[in-house]
Amino acid sequence: MKLIRFANLFKGINAVIYGYTFSSLLYFYAYIHFKESWQSHFDSNLTLMQTLYTSFFSSAAAEICALWLYYPFDLIKTRMQTSNHTFNYHNLLDAFIKIWN
């Protein structure tokens, strides 16, 4: 097994920045949307359990939405850091094009 050089750890830094940024934006937007829409089904004054349920399920649904966007970036980051010679990615855009094809 080959040793991974320290410089290889920074090869996928663009994928990390873009992936975390876009998925975080989507997560917070989806969380607010789900929480407001599910709270509208209850009365105006929510009980503690209704508040906990809406927060929990809103967070879970938002995380599922965000993972759909984050996972491709994480896959590219991992491939660029560990086995760049196998996939031969030059940059983030090249990786997306090769995976799409």
Q: Is residue 83 assigned to a domain?
A: yes
Q: Is residue 16 part of a domain?
A: yes
Residues 71-98 pLDDT 10s: 989 988 888 887 667 788 888 888 888 8
- The rounded distance, in Å, linking the Cα atoms of 12 and 30 is 27
Please tell me the distance from the alpha carbon of residue 49 to that of residue 81, in angstroms, as a whole number: 44
Q: How many domains does the chain have?
A: 1
Q: Do 23 and 67 contact (CB within 8 A), yes or no?
A: yes
CA dist 38 and 51 (Å) reads 10
Q: How confident is the model at residue 7 (pLDDT cuts 50, 70, 90)?
A: low
In this predicted structure, what is the pLDDT of residue 90?
Answer: 81
Give the range of the structural domain holding residue 51, as residue numbers without chain letter.
Answer: 7-95
pLDDT tens for 20-77 read: 999 999 999 999 999 999 888 877 787 888 889 999 999 999 999 999 999 989 988 8
- Helices (runs of H) and strands (runs of E) counted in the chain: 4, 0
